[in-house]
């Protein structure tokens, strides 16, 4: 087993990996940018190495700085978390050359699944159902026109190097195809440095159901059941759960077997996810492989009891999985809500600033995966996820009740967050009934506005504002060092910073 691991990430996922290291008796090395000098992951790691300026391209994405940090600290392995370098095959290869272990899949598998068109060909050959569509990326518009006519409109333009929605365009009729191809190519080129696009038949309002897989380096591959991830906004997941309310045991078994087959066909090892779209007739289609630990991994951990980060580390160290499919089961129901520093009333505009108060909910079946603390300034440079709230209960209804109560208990002041929006999602009748598809947010939450705060909430906010002025904790940035409160500190002038309700 490794003695020391470097975590090439920040925020809640860096904290999650550090905790796994600590439990396993492995020393942890954090890396941090200028904006993260005081970040939680830096405080919790055994060692921390400064790697550069705030922009990710000059720090968390800079392979040279990360390799150098691993070298100077004597780390033997690197955990990439999610995002940043997590699915970068060049990074995996670079680490290999440097005799460092990448805690993730082998570089060949990473490369294969990163090329969506190549992955589709591999999956089709392996007998995995793929969405009807093209398996090449021609440059000639005429070839696209022929393919689209054969598929029937609507079709969707996708980037071959893509994933996550970038470069995608839905085309309803032949007249829109040329412009969509042009726009898709441009977006793909700028996002991935590769303009290759292809077409698929467009499925209306499918469900997004993904299967967690673990594969060791000795040929054993198992799945840890599914996560339902249909609650998304602009390709950003908001709420995830396991089990999916859409699956029955037969469909679950069929999809699980298919997920294992897909990963075997890709020559995959370590933790990964096979994404499927599920249509209204309950046909499922391979969408893509996410070659990383995912944000929503905790719901799988809570229903299966398997620590996925620990397993990732063991697999990377060459240990056999020691789990068989028959010994794995789903027990109860888990739901995750992502707490973002975004203002849901202002089109999810990122909200930066100082966290003035933080009280995470607790209680039976409540888990917090957080990356922040009260008094810390949320930087503008990175993904605005602050924390994840995950609950477990015996069944879905009780899990919904538990999540609603936990969200109500959540105190996070100083920046706007998605908490009030999440409360309304969890308590929405369609959500309670499990009527979910990828159009859920658009259908039920277009132009969402927060309910006005009740009197108790207003009293609390005023008291907190008064306390903030008295202690000076509320002042951040340039004026934080100025002596004493400058202006008349009435709760009425500062309540805006504390506001928990709407306008």
> Which of the residues 30 through 59 are near ligand MV4 (CB under 6 A)?
none
Please, which residues bridge with residue 198 across strands?
A: 158
Decide whether 199 or 356 has the Cβ nearer to ligand MV4: 199
Task: Compute the distance between CA of residue 139 and CA of residue 116 in angstroms, rounded to an integer.
Answer: 16
Q: 79, 208, 388, 497: which one contacts ligand MV4 (CB under 6 A)?
A: 208
Which phi and psi (to 5°) does residue 210 adopt? -125, 150
Beta carbon nearer to ligand MV4, 340 or 498: 340
d(CA 298, CA 82): 14
Q: Is 292 a catalytic residue?
A: yes
Three-class DSSP category at 209: strand
Residue closer to ligand MV4 (CB basis): 166 or 310: 166
| Prior bond of 193 cis (ω within 30°) | no
Scan residues 423-462 and list those touching ligand MV4 (CB under 6 A).
438
235 is a contact residue toward ligand MV4 (CB under 6 A): yes
Segment interacting with ligand MV4 (CB under 6 A) among 196-204, 344-352, 389-397, 407-415? 196-204
Judged by CB under 6 A, the stretch of 59-67, 182-190, 195-203, 289-297 that binds ligand MV4 is 195-203
CA distance 63 to 91: 7
Residue 418 near ligand MV4 by CB under 6 A = no
b/e 312-345 (16+ beta carbons within 10 angstroms → b): bbbbbbeeebebeeeebebebbbbbbbbbbbbbb
135: contact with ligand MV4 by CB under 6 A:
no
State yes or no: residue 338 binds ligand MV4 (CB under 6 A): no
Q: Which of 36, 62, 111, 200 binds ligand MV4 (CB under 6 A)?
A: 200
Q: Can you say whether residue 176 is alpha, beta or left, with left for phi > 0 and alpha for psi between -120 and 50 degrees?
A: alpha
- Interface with ligand MV4, residue 167, by CB under 6 A: no
Stretch that binds ligand MV4, among 37-45, 200-208, 241-249, 369-377 (CB under 6 A): 200-208
Cα 410 to chain center, whole Å? 21
Give the closest residue to 406 by CA, choosing from 391, 424, 386. Answer: 391
Q: Which of 16, 120, 292, 396 is catalytic?
A: 292
Q: What is the dihedral of CA 14, 324, 317, 385, to 10 degrees?
A: -10
Q: How far is the CB of 275 from ligand MV4 (least distance, A)?
A: 7
CA dihedral 411, 413, 417, 423 (to 10 degrees): 30
Integer Cα distance of 215 and 53 in angstroms: 36
Decide whether 79 or 237 has the Cβ nearer to ligand MV4. 237
**Span from 162-170, 302-310, 348-356, 472-480 in contact with ligand MV4 (CB under 6 A):** 162-170
Minimal distance, residue 144 CB to ligand MV4, in Å: 15
Could you say which residues in the range 138-157 bind ligand MV4, by CB under 6 A? 156
Closest alpha carbon to 241 in 364, 82, 392:
392
Alpha carbons 503 and 346: distance in angstroms, whole number? 11
Q: Is 232 near ligand MV4 (CB under 6 A)?
A: yes
Contact call for residue 202 and ligand MV4 (CB under 6 A): yes
End-to-end CA distance of the chain: 54
Nearer to ligand MV4, 20 or 188 (CB): 188
For ligand MV4, the closer of residues 21 and 287 by Cβ is: 287
Region of 21-29, 202-210, 302-310, 489-497 interacting with ligand MV4 (CB under 6 A): 202-210
Which residues of the chain form contacts with ligand MV4 (CB under 6 A)? 131, 156, 163-165, 200-203, 206, 208, 232, 235, 277, 287-288, 438
Residues annotated as catalytic (active site), given as ranges: 292
């Amino acid at each position: 087993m490794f003695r020391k691991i470097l975590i090439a990430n920040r925020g809640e996922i860096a904290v999650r990996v550090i905790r796994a290291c600590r439990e396993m008796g492995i020393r942890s090395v954090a890396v941090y940018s200028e904006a993260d000098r005081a970040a939680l992951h830096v405080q919790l790691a055994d060692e921390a190495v400064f790697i550069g300026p705030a922009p990710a391209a000059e720090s968390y994405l800079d392979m040279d700085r990360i390799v150098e940090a691993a070298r100077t600290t004597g780390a033997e392995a690197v955990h990439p978390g999610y995002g940043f370098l997590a699915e970068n095959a060049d990074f995996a290869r670079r680490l290999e050359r440097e005799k460092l272990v990448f805690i993730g899949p082998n570089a060949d598998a990473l490369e294969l699944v990163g090329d969506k068109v190549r992955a589709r060909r591999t999956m089709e050959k392996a007998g995995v159902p793929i969405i009807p569509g093209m398996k090449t990326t021609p440059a000639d518009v005429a070839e696209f026109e022929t393919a689209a006519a054969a598929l029937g409109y609507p079709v969707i333009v996708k980037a071959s190097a893509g994933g996550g929605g970038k470069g995608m365009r839905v085309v309803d009729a032949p007249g829109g195809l040329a412009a969509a191809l042009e726009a898709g190519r441009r977006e793909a080129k700028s996002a991935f440095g590769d303009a290759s696009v292809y077409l698929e038949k467009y499925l209306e309002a499918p469900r997004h159901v993904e299967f967690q897989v673990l594969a060791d380096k000795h040929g054993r591959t198992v799945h840890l059941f599914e996560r339902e991830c249909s609650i998304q906004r602009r390709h950003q997941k908001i709420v995830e759960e396991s089990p999916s309310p859409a699956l029955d045991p037969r469909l679950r078994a069929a999809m699980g077997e298919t997920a294992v087959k897909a990963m075997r066909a890709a020559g995959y090892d370590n933790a990964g996810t096979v994404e499927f779209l599920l249509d209204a007739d309950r046909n499922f289609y391979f969408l893509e492989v996410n070659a990383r630990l995912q944000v929503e991994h905790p719901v799988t951990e809570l229903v299966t009891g398997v620590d996925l980060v620990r397993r990732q580390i063991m697999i990377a160290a060459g240990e056999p999985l020691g789990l068989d499919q028959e010994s794995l089961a789903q027990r109860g129901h888990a739901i995750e809500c992502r707490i973002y520093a975004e203002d849901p009333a202002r089109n999810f505009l990122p909200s930066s600033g100082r966290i003035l108060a933080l009280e995470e909910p607790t209680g039976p079946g409540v888990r917090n995966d957080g990356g922040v603390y009260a008094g810390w300034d949320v930087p503008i440079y990175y993904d605005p996820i602050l924390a994840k709230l995950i609950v477990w209960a015996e069944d879905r209804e009780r899990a919904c009740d538990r999540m609603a109560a936990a969200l109500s208990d959540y105190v996070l002041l100083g920046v706007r967050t998605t908490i009030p929006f999440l409360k309304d999602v969890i308590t929405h009748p369609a959500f309670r009934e499990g009527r979910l598809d990828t159009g859920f947010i658009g259908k039920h939450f277009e132009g969402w506005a927060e309910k006005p705060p009740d009197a108790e909430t207003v009293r609390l906010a005023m008291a907190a504002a008064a306390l903030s002025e008295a202690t000076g904790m509320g002042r951040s940035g340039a004026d934080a060092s100025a002596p004493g409160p400058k202006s008349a500190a009435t709760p009425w002038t500062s309540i805006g910073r504390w506001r928990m309700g709407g306008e």
